[in-house]
Structure 1
Amino acid sequence: MTLLTSAVAATRPFAVAADWQHRQRIERRVIGQLLQTLLYEDVLEPISETRLEDSSVSPDAADRSLFRLKVGPGRYRVEGFRCHSFALVRLDHSSLVKEAADGDVSPTLFEVLDDLNHALGGDGKLGAGFIRELTETLIKDLQSSTVASPGNGVDPRQLDADALEQAFTDAHSYHPSYKSRLGFSLDDNRRYGPEFGQDLRVLWLGVPRRLAHQGASCGYRVAAMVEAEAGAEVEAALSGWLQQQDLTRDQVVLMPVHPWQWDNVLVAALYPELARGEIALLGEGQLSYRPQQSIRTLSPVGNAERDAPRPYLKLALGITNTSSTRILARHTITNGPIITAWLKTLVDSHPTAKASGMVILGEVAGVALDERAFPGLRHDQVYGQVGALWREHIDEFLAPGEQAVPFNGLSQFTRQPDGEPDAPFIADWIVRHGRDAWTRQLVMVATLPIIHLLFAEGVGLESHGQNIVVIHRDGWPVRIALKDFHDGVRYSEAALARPELAPRLEPLPAAHAARNRNSFIVTDDLDAVRDYSCDAFFFIALAEMAIFLKRHFGLEEKTFWAIVADVIVAYQEAHPEHAERYRSFDVFVPEWEVEALTRRRLFGDDIPQVKRVPNPLAEHAPGGATPRQHQGGEPMPC
């Protein structure tokens, strides 16, 4: 295949998709998510906001408003909602128009960005990096949204959790750069994007132990596990390299790397060691994987045929998605198995946690390049660029008759078999079990483990919708599994219920802390512990569910949050022994603090970009209602 035909093959899905209506739909989504974050994070103020009265169209129509916006010299009109959940703004992207003298037009992304740059003061105030993220999101979503959902015509509710990772393609519903994947070409996106369901095999490096770091939970032998995954061909190449370098097997560490990472980062970053033969590329492993929604976490293919499921594999990947670079720092590789062992101890030794059936999908082993062995400028060049974590597979924990689904998939539409129109993934379950009963059950099984770890143990978890797996029987939620702990927990040692069990963690490197001020585990700020759990679980996961159930099934958001409050209050009444932590980690306060994601992209975070948001749980506080207020001190809009 020539370079020209390769390029055509890579871009063909994009070219086929580029009909006007399809491009307009995707472009309006990117613009709409940008505008709704600018409104919500107080960068823009609407010129007017008019309530629409027609409730005949859908359950949500009575709550619609018409927003008129001035963005620099441009004027826009779009329908949307002021949600009860944290006063979130949700815009109906399909209704977006730009007002012009000769009539309304559908705006292009660059027209909106030009107007926004003018509104911010011009002179390049809208950074080139953010512009690229938005543009790449448009292009990658346009390409990937043309792919048929996996399953070969099977009802999506019959797919296993790994297949569903490819079926749920909507990505982040708030972040405007929801599918930027900076670093991926269109060919890369087709090969490694989860929507395409392509198998891949990882590459394996041989690294001298003095340049490497590895860690594992008790009972896991890293060397034996990686040899089984690497396979006979890699082992043969390893033997030849050991002989050339006059090394023994215990003097080296095998490390898996993503093929994109090898081609685009590691050949250049490790050139001196590769040229000397000090580090060796040993070839492609024997196992096949498919990327999950997070792209850098890979599901093993063919697990259903195995008695013991293979673990998931999470790899360092130097792309940027939702404004974050997806490296894997050495200290997180060290801490993942340590935190896993700690959380499993907390769960296994507490009757309430055990009774909930909650599952900790543990990070059981990891390997990484040790950046401390690389002097000078090389340190930053290799930092976090070679790292791997193995995570327990959900199939290990499913009882007969149980299935699993990522939490964030519950609020998505999926393509139906036999050419039927797209439908909410949960639609049949709602019909079968009843909307209200199903919602109460979901809220109970999802909320109890999160608040138990916060209240009974003093541990906050970053449990957004991608980090929670719902285990169900025929659509009826029975328990949850939690994952992603290497940098997804937060606690204060002074507030731990059992400080004697506290893990001894690898300290956070100063350079890492300087690059990412929000990347820390241990803190003295109790509000930061509470908000860590509340931001991820309540503000992201549950709010998305509340809004989805309102818009598509007519369940009032206030009713949803009353159900959540009932679960929390019932827990507190059943466990009065945690009263001090109920006060320390008060989830019923009038306001929480959340990250202002788009403001960070526009203005940086030399000054922390946060927003105080009204808490929908506040009015359900034990002992009486707490008036909900937003920042201005006036009643929040309905």
Structure 2
Amino acid sequence: MPAPRLGEPSVEEDTAWRDAGHALLVRALAELSYEDMLRPETLGGGNYRVTLGDGVEYTFTATRGGFESWRIAPESVLRNGRPAADPMEFLVDARATLGLDGPTTAEALRELVATWSADALLRRNLPTAKVLADADYVELESAQGGHPAMVLNKGRLGFTASDAEAYAPEAGRTLRLTWIAVHPSLASAHGVTLDGELDAETTRAFAAKAPAGYVWLPVHPFHLDACVRTLFAPYLADGRIVVLGEAPDRYRALASVRTLVNVDHPEKRNVKVPLLIRNTLVWRGLPAEPTAGAPAVSAWLHSMQAADPFLATHVDLLGEVASVAVRHPLFDRIPDAPYRYHELLAAVWREPVQTYLRAGDKARSLASMLVVGSDGRALAAELAARSPLAPREWLRTLLAVVLAAPLHALHAHDLAFCPHGENTVVVFGPDDVPVRTMLKDFAEDVNLLPGREYPGLPREADRLLPRWSEGELAHSIITAVFAGVFRPLAVIAETQLGVAEPEFWTLVRAEVDAYRDRFPELAERHAAYGLTAAEVERICLNREQLTGGGFHDRAEKEEFEIVHGTVPNPLVREAAAPADGPADGMPADGAGR
């Protein structure tokens, strides 16, 4: 076969691009329908139609799942009767129905094509399920598909195409960090000392350039160019910031992009650094106060865990043990500036998974349980097959392991982690049976109950940790775990593990009930948090991104309004079926018995 002409894609590249776009279109139809932004009209027999402007309509075949989600048969999607595979065309088709003005549509298209490009790159590099199962924690992060509920989940606006190829996790490349020294009037260090993060020779070389008393921190190469050498140029010029040089250790990005793992010395701490990019609703900086307080929050959480035998047995906490926060003296004087200008320069050092792994253990993020290999086989199915357990028992064990720590933190301590797919790391034994979890991301994603006293909570941590109502704290499990991870996992369970979706939710409910039975003294807290309420709030991240504050520079991140109505809770057997009829395979009352 002759080589393709310049600018002409190869057959493999074209296939990856088309398949990625087709999958993105299917996700857009499903998630925008779930969030009530599109309202498919039933045509009978599991067939639906979405009528848009200018005589355009999309038809597809679907069943309904937990939380009233849509499970669309990919090859059934047609645009005016012809096979459809272009998500950008769909967005333009749907803009009037979605209520998008011109600027919002244009911004959404930017994020959509960036996501499409990232998904195509992911497909080109994606290995089989067998290879995924053999991969280590960092390698597996390169196969993540992004937030399963968000359509524009890899926008990373600010990255050029070459930046994405160099720094995006799916690219699988390594990078080196440049270290800078900052005058103590601008920077403060917190937590443990960073002895050992730099080798002796590099430390000596940097010390020869750094003025005495300056605070050192690493900077991502993209951020050095996009932020430090631009917004901090006056302080580079007057010597308050000094570039020390590039350190030799190589790092790779985890799925969150800004958290980096040392691949030359995996036992060294992970480094979380800001990036001047916007991705999945927010700019990915590091705010000064939470960064400064991260070690105090982690130390308190470690002390709480050590005093609780249940937590000590079921979870390891990847502590944020050191941090450096740098302020910008002029943006600091503009409190109502968009929040990204207050999150420009910092670093956090987190314990790596190796800190808590035992002989034979293997760490995999919870998000990776949603990954499907290039052979169409899910990683979860491959792991279940390798284990000595039957698929249903393997799945039950996974659910039990994942829920243990969040359930106990919420009910016994009135504390909510944010245990979504990236923040939860599942630890597997040598036989690929799940045994416990690790949790991470504490400074910005741990929330407490208003008016409650927390033993040993340092004043610094108390000042930083948000106080949320019981209903809001409950979303740490209902949204982050049940709707965010278990909803798509239920599809894998049904199609590849032989566990029908109604039975899947019965297994989840059984774990919640088993925890209640183990701690009957917490009955009042179980009622307060309402994990088994008949109806739960519908979290709508795409709605907020497209029609709320997702494309606007705000002074505060927390102003997002992401709740829209309610949906039946699949953990409740009496939950009503969707209005247009029961899901396939479920009894008419939606019970899923």
Q: Confirm or deny a common fold (TM above 0.5).
A: yes
> 1:273 aligns to what?
235
TM-aligned CA deviation for residue 489 of structure 1: 1.3
TM-aligned CA deviation for residue 259 of structure 1: 0.2
Task: Name the CA distance, whole Å, in 2 between partners of 1:14 and 1:160.
Answer: 35
TM-aligned CA deviation for residue 131 of structure 1: 2.1
Task: Name the CA distance, whole Å, in 2 between partners of 1:547 and 1:266.
Answer: 45
> 1:161 aligns to what?
137
**Cα gap change, 1:327/1:507 in structure 2, threshold over 3 Å: closer, same or farther?**
farther
TM-aligned CA deviation for residue 528 of structure 1: 0.8
1:283 equivalenced with 2:234 (yes/no): no
1:387 equivalenced with 2:346 (yes/no): yes
1:397 equivalenced with 2:373 (yes/no): no
> 1:337 aligns to what?
295
> 1:362 aligns to what?
319
Q: Deviations over 1:560-615 (max 9, x none)?
A: 22222222222212212212211221211112224311111222157824132221
TM-aligned CA deviation for residue 142 of structure 1: 2.4
Task: Name the CA distance, whole Å, in 1 between partners of 2:581 and 2:533.
Answer: 14
> 2:546 aligns to what?
602
Deviating more after overlay: 290-299 vs 318-327: 318-327
> 1:229 aligns to what SS in structure 2?
coil
Among residues 62, 75, 79, which one is paired with 1:98 in the alignment? 79
> 2:198 aligns to what SS in structure 1?
helix
Answer whether contact 2:319 2:351 (CA < 8 A) is retained: yes
**Cα gap change, 1:388/1:361 in structure 2, threshold over 3 Å: closer, same or farther?**
same
Among residues 433, 448, 457, which one is paired with 1:476 in the alignment? 433
Question: How large is the Cα RMSD of the aligned pairs?
Answer: 2.9
Answer whether contact 2:443 2:465 (CA < 8 A) is retained: no
Task: Name the CA distance, whole Å, in 1 between partners of 2:366 and 2:119.
Answer: 21
Among residues 210, 223, 229, which one is paired with 2:198 in the alignment? 229
Amino acid at match of 2:80: E
Task: Name the CA distance, whole Å, in 1 between partners of 2:126 and 2:570.
Answer: 38
Amino acid at match of 2:26: G
1:543 equivalenced with 2:499 (yes/no): no
Task: Name the CA distance, whole Å, in 1 between partners of 2:499 and 2:346.
Answer: 44
Amino acid at match of 2:37: V
TM-aligned CA deviation for residue 389 of structure 1: 1.0
Deviating more after overlay: 140-149 vs 398-407: 140-149
Deviating more after overlay: 197-206 vs 555-564: 555-564
Amino acid at match of 1:573: D
1:487 equivalenced with 2:457 (yes/no): no
Answer whether contact 1:458 1:491 (CA < 8 A) is retained: yes
**Cα gap change, 1:632/1:362 in structure 2, threshold over 3 Å: closer, same or farther?**
farther
1:525 equivalenced with 2:525 (yes/no): no
> 2:42 aligns to what SS in structure 1?
strand
Answer whether contact 1:204 1:230 (CA < 8 A) is retained: no
Answer whether contact 1:160 1:403 (CA < 8 A) is retained: yes
> 1:437 aligns to what?
393
**Cα gap change, 1:548/1:428 in structure 2, threshold over 3 Å: closer, same or farther?**
closer
Answer whether contact 2:378 2:492 (CA < 8 A) is retained: no
TM-aligned CA deviation for residue 551 of structure 1: 2.4
- Identity, in percent, stands at 26
> 2:586 aligns to what?
none
TM-aligned CA deviation for residue 172 of structure 1: 2.4
Among residues 514, 532, 548, which one is paired with 1:588 in the alignment? 532
Amino acid at match of 1:229: L
Task: Name the CA distance, whole Å, in 1 between partners of 2:484 and 2:346.
Answer: 28
> 1:501 aligns to what?
456
> 1:426 aligns to what SS in structure 2?
helix
Q: Deviations over 1:106-131 (max 9, x none)?
A: 35334322221232467527432222
Task: Name the CA distance, whole Å, in 2 between partners of 1:171 and 1:615.
Answer: 24
**Cα gap change, 1:333/1:230 in structure 2, threshold over 3 Å: closer, same or farther?**
farther
Task: Name the CA distance, whole Å, in 2 between partners of 1:325 and 1:521.
Answer: 20
Answer whether contact 2:399 2:508 (CA < 8 A) is retained: yes
Amino acid at match of 2:135: L
Q: Deviations over 1:330-369 (max 9, x none)?
A: 122123222211221121101222233x111111111121
Among residues 225, 242, 246, which one is paired with 1:263 in the alignment? 225
1:198-347 paired onto structure 2 within 5 Å: 198-216=173-191, 220-222=192-194, 224-225=195-196, 228-229=197-198, 232-233=201-202, 235-242=204-211, 248=212, 251-303=213-265, 309-347=267-305
Deviating more after overlay: 397-406 vs 366-375: 366-375
TM-aligned CA deviation for residue 268 of structure 1: 0.9
Amino acid at match of 2:160: S
Answer whether contact 1:117 1:126 (CA < 8 A) is retained: no
> 1:511 aligns to what?
none
Task: Name the CA distance, whole Å, in 1 between partners of 2:393 and 2:90.
Answer: 44
Q: Deviations over 1:255-310 (max 9, x none)?
A: 11100011112211001111122211111012111111111111111336xxxx11
> 2:478 aligns to what?
534
1:76 equivalenced with 2:65 (yes/no): no
> 2:176 aligns to what SS in structure 1?
coil
Among residues 157, 162, 168, which one is paired with 1:182 in the alignment? 157
Task: Name the CA distance, whole Å, in 2 between partners of 1:572 and 1:290.
Answer: 41
1:454-473 paired onto structure 2 within 5 Å: 454-473=410-429
> 2:37 aligns to what SS in structure 1?
coil
Task: Name the CA distance, whole Å, in 1 between partners of 2:377 and 2:87.
Answer: 28
1:553 equivalenced with 2:506 (yes/no): no
Answer whether contact 1:86 1:539 (CA < 8 A) is retained: yes
> 1:487 aligns to what SS in structure 2?
coil
Gaps of 5+ in 2: 1-5, 550-558, 583-588
Task: Name the CA distance, whole Å, in 2 between partners of 1:117 and 1:80.
Answer: 23
> 2:61 aligns to what SS in structure 1?
strand
Task: Name the CA distance, whole Å, in 2 between partners of 1:119 and 1:613.
Answer: 22
> 2:427 aligns to what SS in structure 1?
strand
Task: Name the CA distance, whole Å, in 1 between partners of 2:329 and 2:535.
Answer: 42
**TM-score (normalised: structure 2):** 0.88
Answer whether contact 2:447 2:468 (CA < 8 A) is retained: no
1:173 equivalenced with 2:148 (yes/no): yes
Task: Name the CA distance, whole Å, in 1 between partners of 2:77 and 2:121.
Answer: 22
Deviating more after overlay: 382-391 vs 109-118: 109-118
TM-aligned CA deviation for residue 41 of structure 1: 1.0
Task: Name the CA distance, whole Å, in 2 between partners of 1:289 and 1:121.
Answer: 42
**Cα gap change, 1:630/1:334 in structure 2, threshold over 3 Å: closer, same or farther?**
farther
**Cα gap change, 1:313/1:459 in structure 2, threshold over 3 Å: closer, same or farther?**
same
